[in-house]
Amino acid sequence: MKTAMMLAACGMMVSASSVVNAVPVTWQTHVGIAPTDIINGTCTTRDGGSIHVGQRNNAGASPDIWVVKLDYKGDVQWQRTIGTANSEVGYSVVETADGGFAISGEATGVGAGLGTVILKLNGAGMTMWARVYFGNPLVNLERPSRIIEMPNRDLVAVGCYRTTGQFLAVIRLNSAGVQQWAWGYVDPRYGNATNSALCDVHSYRDPAGTNNGGLLVCGWTGQSSTLKEPLVMWLDSTGAFVSASVYGTPASNRYANGLDVNTATSDSTYTLVSVPAMDTQVLRLDAALNPIFRVRVDNIYAANATIVNPAPEIVFGGTSVNPANASRDMSIFKFDSAAGVAFMRLYGGILTEEGRGMSPVGTGFHLAGWSRTFTFGGEDGYFVRTDNNLDSGCNQLLQSVTPAAQVPDRIQLQFPRQGLQFVQWTPANTLITTGQNILCRQCPADINGDGIVDFFDYLDYVAAFSGGLPIADFNGDGVIDFFDYLDFVAAFSSGC
């Protein structure tokens, strides 16, 4: 039960027993005040809370990077905007080993104009250093940008860059921001007419079982933005090309935007998204990147994929679309690949919501994006924390889902590489305050449901534990054991 879960959404390992609140308080909240406050990326933090990044647009002004830190109860701890008079957007965030954070996104008006931005913040959100690499990582709002921290504390960011075409980009820096290498990769089939980008990255254990600092990356390649082919590529620790494959034809117009690795088997799982068709395919590969299975889920497009170890479960968060009226909700999809059982929860209200980032927390999940239903005006950042059954406590709908089996396919490719250039960047970093509204909050330690955590809850739990009652399965793993008691005591000590 206390095994580690891979955080595809923020590229780091978090053990359930290392998080302060292993059993989460479930909640929903929205945060914002500007006409447009949007979250694009999220990561669970070691204190049981979460860090989020996106963009904040004041009326008539260009967007700035928006960073929001929430505690485990969903309360805002701090917020910052980072930017200049030009446009800046954050897409991905990771907590680093030193207690700070790293962000990737885009910036305009720097050097040649458009650039991939990489920021390092301290634990309070203050900028430590910033870099911009030429080339725009934003393509049709598909957000191909991700950053992770490697086991040696190097940072790796992926996205794309533009010259005569649009090409894959992978950048590796050390923890002080010193470039280790930065490479662009061109599809030889299309040359300068290539339209490609990378959306996710993961440190990789190679087929021989050695974690040699290599990388798995995924995204798309193709001839145009409407002829995407889902791409998976393996690089070594220097960024040298090892292998690459596409898993679909140009006519399918899909891209791989979520990636996770099963640490026990080195199998990897990807979400292949088609926004025009409004569906997501789940593709699992073995350690040599050969397809194992592929299923399709209609009316949802994914933001992130997560393998829940050790059970054969795949979870991804994103946005569901109602085919009857094209309305959208934030959603989390959960699939047991062994049993073939799947279900999905939708989160939101009467207007539009989108899920942009997801990461596991304890036995539950963080999901973040934006809402037009729950807002102080325009769009607000919308944040959901669930338990293992995807229950957040309010504004949700459970749906059963029947995935459709697909035929796996694979075409292997070669990708030459070329160097990229960066410039220093010094954006303003401003501490801000905005409105916040807690939509609902449930506290697992409040066993008797009276809204207060006190000694009566402790007595009720001990009685339930002794009697083997279902409520005593505190961590939701299907077994009532001493781990449930320890998790209850931790939650009881934390209060609500």
Is 398 in the same domain as 487? no
- Residue ranges of the chain whose pLDDT lies below 70: 1-24, 59-60, 109-114, 134-144, 205-212, 264, 304-312, 339, 421-424, 449-451, 476, 496
pLDDT digits (tens, 9 = 90+) for 59-82: 667 889 999 999 888 999 999 999
Containing structural domain, residue 273: 21-442
Stated pTM of the model: 0.85
Backbone dihedral region of 112: left (phi > 0), alpha (psi from -120 to 50 degrees) or beta?
alpha
Please indicate, yes or no, whether residues 318 and 203 belong to a single structural domain of this protein. yes
449 located within any domain: no
> Is 10 inside any structural domain?
no
User: CATH number of the domain that 256 lies in?
Assistant: 2.130.10.10
Whether the Cβ atoms of residue 94 and residue 147 lie closer than 8 Å to each other: yes
* Residues 353 and 436 both lie in one domain: yes
Looking at residue 442, its pLDDT comes to 80
User: Quick one: which of 441, 366, 361, 438 has its CA closest to 25?
Assistant: 441
Q: How is residue 22 written in tokens?
A: 């292993």
**3-class secondary-structure state, position 191:** helix
Partnered with residue 173 across adjacent β-strands are 155, 179
- d(CA 81, CA 88) in angstroms, rounded, equals 10
- Is the domain of 399 the same as that of 460? no
Q: Is the domain of 470 the same as that of 389?
A: no
Residue 467's identity, in one-letter code, is G
Residues 404 and 483 in one domain: no
160 and 236 in a single domain? The answer is: yes
Distance CA(277)–CA(254), nearest Å, equals 9
Beta-carbon contacts of 459 under 8 Å, excluding residues fewer than 6 positions away, are none
Q: How many of the other CB atoms lie within 10 Å of CB of 407?
A: 6
> Per the omega criterion (within 30 degrees of 0), is the bond before 144 cis?
no
Residue 116 lies in a domain: yes
Residue type, 65: I
Strand-pairing partners, residue 28, are 384, 440
Q: Is 304 within the bounds of a domain?
A: yes
pLDDT at 149 (0 to 100)? 94
Residue 14 inside a domain? The answer is no
Question: What pLDDT does residue 448 have?
Answer: 73
Q: Is cis: bond before 276, omega within 30 of 0?
A: no
Do the domain assignments include residue 183?
yes
> Are residues 44 and 181 part of one domain?
yes
142 belongs to a structural domain: yes
DSSP string, 99-129: S-EEEEEEEEEETTEEEEEEEEE-TTS-EEE
Residue pair 258/238 in contact (Cβ under 8 Å)? The answer is: no
Cα–Cα distance for residue pair 102/90, rounded to 1 Å:
10
Strand order in the sheet with 76-83: 36-44, 50-57, 64-70, 76-83, 428-432
Residue 4 lies in a domain: no
Check: CB of residue 284 under 8 Å from CB of residue 269.
yes
Whether residue 309 is found in the same domain as residue 412? yes
* Tens of pLDDT, residues 316-341: 899 998 888 888 999 999 888 776 77
Q: Are 274 and 369 contained in the same domain? A: yes
Which tokens hold the place of 24? Answer: 């989460």
Which helix or strand (DSSP H or E) is residue 457 part of? Answer: helix 455-467
Which residue, 399, 421, 442, sits at the end of a domain? Answer: 442
Residues 203 and 107 placed together within one structural domain of the fold: yes
| Number of domains observed in the structure of the chain | 2
Q: Is 63 exposed, middle or buried (0-12, 13-18, 19+ CB in 10 A)?
A: buried
Whether residue 102 sits in one domain with residue 249:
yes
Decide: 66 and 53 in contact? Cβ < 8 Å.
yes
pLDDT at residue 5, rounded to an integer: 26
Helix (H, G, I), strand (E, B) or coil at 118: strand
What CA dihedral angle connects 201, 205, 208 and 214, to 10 degrees? 50
What pLDDT score does 306 carry?
66
- Taking the C-alpha atoms of residue 172 and residue 181, their distance in angstroms, rounded to an integer, is 5
